[in-house]
């Protein structure tokens, strides 16, 4: 049986199935449950954010990613931004923060332009109307 160093207590143990020693298994399970809970609620967090949210060592999060215990951490199967290929912040939108901001800015700008255009149309309309009235009076 291969000997391994327990990543939690740094002691050597006979590695059977788990990557931590039998003594640390309970703690590891508790951490796993916490990480799992955080990920269920917020699946788009990266490993660092998960470790903060779950109050678990980031090394532990990384370990679980390596072991394939958790798979929906951003680092494992990153959703890429459909526009620039950077890591996406939203699984559904497939956009990175920068592109999302750009897109939002564009939407706001477009909306503003539409509003401006409406205003112009109204003004032009009024002017045409006034002119018609003027011409009608002249007749
Ligand atoms: Zn241990
Ligand atoms: Zn992007």
Q: What is the pLDDT of residues 17-57, one digit of tens each?
A: 888 999 999 999 999 999 999 988 988 888 889 999 999 99
* Residue closest to 7 by CA, chosen among 51, 50, 55, 59: 59
User: Residue 136: inside a domain, yes or no?
Assistant: yes
pTM of the model: 0.50
- Per the structure, the complete domain to which residue 111 belongs is given by 96-139
Asked if residue 56 is part of any domain, the answer here is yes
Separation of 99 CA from ligand 2 center, angstroms? 4
Separation of CA 59 and ligand 2 centre (Å): 28
Same domain, yes or no, for 57 and 114? no
Q: What is the pLDDT of residue 139?
A: 66
Residue 19 covered by a domain = yes
Whether 12 maps to a domain, the answer reads yes
**Could you give the angle at which helices 47-54 and 58-66 cross, rounded to 10 degrees?**
120
Residues 107, 59 share a domain:
no
In this structure, the answer to whether residues 101 and 71 fall within a common structural domain is: no
Query: Could you say which ligand is closest to the alpha carbon of residue 9?
Result: 1
Question: In this predicted model, which residue has the larger pLDDT, 70 or 132?
Answer: 70
Does one domain contain both 69 and 113?
no
Distance from residue 36's CA to the centre of ligand 2 (Å)? 28
- What is the rounded distance in angstroms from the CA atom of residue 37 to the CA atom of residue 44? 13
In-domain check, residue 124: yes
Report if residue 45 sits inside a domain. Answer: yes
Gap between the Cα atoms of 7 and 60, Å rounded = 8
Do 61 and 125 fall into the same domain?
A: no
43 within 8 A of 72, measured Cβ to Cβ: yes
Contact 67, 19 (CB under 8 A): yes
Predicted pLDDT at 5: 93
- Residues 73-83 have pLDDT tens digits of 555 455 678 88
Residue at a domain's end among 77, 104, 130? 77
Confidence category of residue 121, pLDDT binned at 50, 70, 90: confident
Separation of CA 38 and ligand 1 centre (Å) = 24
* pLDDT confidence band for 117 (50 / 70 / 90): confident
* Same domain, residue pair 59 and 8: yes
Phi and psi torsions of 75, nearest 5°: -65, -30
């Amino acid at each position: 049986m291969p000997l391994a160093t327990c990543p939690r207590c740094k002691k050597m143990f006979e590695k059977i199935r788990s990557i931590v020693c039998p003594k640390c298994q309970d703690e590891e399970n508790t951490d796993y449950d916490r990480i799992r809970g955080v990920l269920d609620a917020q699946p788009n967090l990266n490993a660092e954010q998960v470790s903060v949210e779950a109050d678990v060592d980031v090394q532990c999060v990384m370990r679980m990613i390596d072991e394939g215990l958790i798979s929906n951490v951003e680092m494992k199967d990153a959703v890429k931004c459909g526009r620039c290929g950077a890591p996406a912040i939203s699984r559904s939108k497939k956009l990175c923060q920068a592109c999302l901001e750009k897109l939002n800015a564009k939407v706001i700008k477009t909306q503003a332009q539409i509003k401006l255009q409406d205003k112009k149309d109204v003004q032009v309309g009024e002017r045409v109307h006034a002119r018609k009235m003027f011409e009608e009076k002249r007749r």
